[in-house]
Amino acid sequence: MQTHEISRRFREYFTDHGHTPVPSASLILEDPNLLFVNAGMVQFKPYFLGDAPAPWPRATSIQKCVRTGDIDEVGKTTRHNTFFQMAGNFSFGDYFKAQAIEHAWALLTNSQSEGGYGFDPDRLWATVYTDDDEALDLWKKIAGLPEERIQRRDGKDNYWDMGIPGPGGPCSEIYYDRGPEHGREGGPVADEDRYLEVWNLVFMQDVRGELSPKEGHKPIGSLPRRNIDTGMGIERVAALLQGVDNVYETDLVRPVIAKAEEMSGRRYGAGNPVDDVRFRVIADHARSGMMIIGDGVTPGNEARGYVLRRLLRRIVRSVRLLGVQEPVLGEFAAVVRDTMSPSYPELATDFPRIESIMRKEEETFLATLASGSRIFDLAADRLVDDGKATLPGDKAFQLHDTYGFPIDLTLEMAAERGLSVDETGFRELMAEQRARAKADAASRKTGHGDQSVYRELLAQGNTVFTGYEELTTEAKVIGLVRDGKRLSGAGEGEILEVILDRTPLYAEAGGQESDAGTITTASGAVLEVVDVQKIARKLWVHQVRVRSGEITEGAEVEARVDPEWRVGARQGHSGTHVVHAALRQVLGPTALQSGSYNKPGYLRLDFAWSGALSPETKSEIEEVSNLAVRQDLPVQVVYTDMGGAQELGAVALFGETYDETVRVVEIGGPWSRELCGGTHVEHSSQIGPISLLGESSVGSGSRRLEAYVGMDAMRYLAKERALVQNLAAMLKVPDVEVPARVEALVDRLRNAERELEKLRAGQLLSSAGTLAEQAEDVRGTALVALKVPDGIGGGDLRNLAVEVRNRLGARPGVVALFSAGDGGKVAFVVATTAAARDAGLAAGKLVPAFAPAIEARGGGKPDLAQGGGANAGGIGEAVTALRRALDGA
């Protein structure tokens, strides 16, 4: 059975049994505890936590997931995968253990002609939590499992929670016995290679505290409503139903390996386990990388971007180790697109952008490999010069961590030079880095604070947002909150949260700042609204400062948006859409927005792009944007479902979560169509002028445009005009001649600086003869060691040292020059004559003699060494230390 058919049957079974089908969420959700969505239940967390009422009593989804905790283990075994699909069925306070077990057992064991998967019931086992007698009895009653095929396991295996305070509950897992050829008998507790887990049922009923029941600690309470979260691993089921040994040989993964075989001429499963690991890394990471980029991540050096970069670079590394030197990521991307797009059609429609990002990252990494190779060669040369045969672990780690140079390529190149690598030292440093990363991730994890006060208010109904139609709304105060506690009232000067049943004030979302405004009562109380946020996307929470009077729960109020603020806010948000559309028109459809922020008069827009925009391109984007403003394009709003929005070609923002009914904002019809909940102008001309401030990098593969709109754009242009006029007056030329005159002045200044530099360098070198004449004899060696004038840079200092050395002639000689710089820094150069080197005096080996005195670092070859130190006050001591070292040589 093909993988796409496995997914279809799961979805249809649960839809037929009253579950609402929910599309997979993006891999990128705003969750402080997760880099990527790693389980099917993540998008439903607000419902399990009770932070919001579930829109349906039961749901089903096929969720794309990425787990990256063991990237380095991928490929070494056939059980580790970074990308996988989790088929899930969920109950939000509806059915519980019995029906969950009934559904799982029926779908697994029903014949394929009846829509099931046709697993042999006699080969299925179940596990239950240590003391879950109820689940054990249900397995016997519903599935007819004999007790010897139901095993109890402790919390580490059969208790689920999110790793932080919040919901949890016992698990029950279903395993398939693959037969004695795959391992020993005895059920899952004996061998999880033979007995393969295919389904996990979580009976979510507990609230865990700081200490997890996984470690034997008791829950601190019970959830108000019991929930079901069950998941079936699509890839694992595919491996079983397709009769292959592991997921790498299934219909959606094996084609990537086949492409790697075609390109390398080597064969997977041909008896070379090292090659097999590389094939599996390529297959796994190609799918993961493609899916992650598809959801809006670009390679970078932090967080998600860094994980993506590691995945893509591991592919390139593995392919090179298979003997392929040419670029490959585009080829693998095409295979993943063809295999995965039946389930994820966006991979086909968005393929040009995805492939472009993968290709550019590969180009960057190939350049990194070239520079890393040069750094390795220098390190290897020094080892050979010093008569050593082992590359230190810290140098291998530096190559890996700083330059992105993989350790296995370091090992390979070292072997080619007849050298070894201190792998133990490297692994220790890697382990320290992982420990720091895990500690950092743990420090960012947060529990789910007490949201009960908002749950109480949500139970009274959602806040009705009226701000699309009006700026003033009559409303009722349904709750006053401070520090998570309900208040009956508050007086002048107090800061608190006010929840209304209706409001025209926009809550911060979609990159748009919240509205400014006021809330007033009939008795004369005035509350200044300083912020508006949404809880569970349903409840508007107004943070206010009571300016006068008193506010009480239940009071009738008037909520009013500051009209000037709203005018500017609409201009900023509509301007963002216009600039985005202009960007795509100029650069092409791959230049997709990846983030934005807008407020009255200002906008910024982040987008995926690998290089800086030329001045001509920025001018074109600005011109296209202002042409759209001048054309007075109509702005319309269409409400539809996600399928309808996709048919319209509406752009969805990466990482955003959308309701079943979505709002599409059109500017000029198809020219700009985006899913958006923000406030907008009625016609593009109301945006006013758009003036780009600049464009900059916000990480590898990501750029940022900033602009003023409306009156703020006018003020900015007025300042620019005044600046040009002032310059023209100072230079006594017309405005249009200012650029040429400034360019001429800059050229004259540069020429003058070059002439001064030549004079200074000449004067410096002219002193070489005098310095050589001052050489002192130290045990037959001519030593020139002294402090030269401050501020001489490394290049000039090196030239002077070499010239002094040349003046020493054929005698043994050592030249050591020091120059103090800013902040107590010091630069130094050591040069030796050929005769000195013949006598065993190597420049690089003399540095340690004086380095402690100036807190120096650096080194070099026998003839020349240079570096820097942090203690210029120790130069005198350094000269003495060098003299002493020569005297004792």
User: Is residue 171 part of an annotated ligand binding site?
Assistant: no
Task: Evaluate the CA torsion angle 460, 465, 469, 471 in order and state its sign.
Answer: positive
- Residue 816 pairs with which residues in a beta bridge? 785, 830
d(CA 110, CA 115): 7
Kindly state the tokens that stand for 48: 């399990």
Q: Where are the beta strands (DSSP E) in 522-601?
A: 526-535, 539-548, 550-552, 556-561, 593-599
Q: Quick count: other Cβ atoms within 10 Å of Cβ 737?
A: 12
Contact 709, 688 (CB under 8 A): yes
User: Is residue 573 part of an annotated ligand binding site?
Assistant: yes
DSSP state letter for 141: I
d(CA 202, CA 470): 46
Count each helix (H run) and each strand (E run) in the chain, helices first.
26, 35
> Phi/psi at 227 (nearest 5 deg)?
-125, 160
Longest alpha-carbon distance in the chain: 103
Pairing assessment for the beta strands 781-787 and 813-820 based on DSSP bridges: parallel
- Residue 172 pairs with which residues in a beta bridge? 128, 201
Contact 393, 426 (CB under 8 A): yes
Q: Where are the beta strands (DSSP E) in 719-842?
A: 776-778, 781-787, 813-820, 826-832
Task: Evaluate the CA torsion angle 131, 137, 143, 145 in order and state its sign.
Answer: positive
Query: Residue for token digits 């009770």?
Result: 50
Closest CA to 212 of 159, 152, 158, 173: 159
Query: Residue for token digits 């070609």?
Result: 649
d(CA 315, CA 320): 9
User: Is residue 676 part of an annotated ligand binding site?
Assistant: yes
User: Is residue 542 part of an annotated ligand binding site?
Assistant: no
Closest CA to 403 of 435, 433, 366, 431: 366
**Residue partners of 149: CB distance under 8 A and separation at least 6:** 124, 125, 126, 187
DSSP state letter for 549: S
d(CA 845, CA 669): 73
Binding-site members are 573, 577, 676, 680
Binding-site members for Zn(2+) are 573, 577, 676, 680
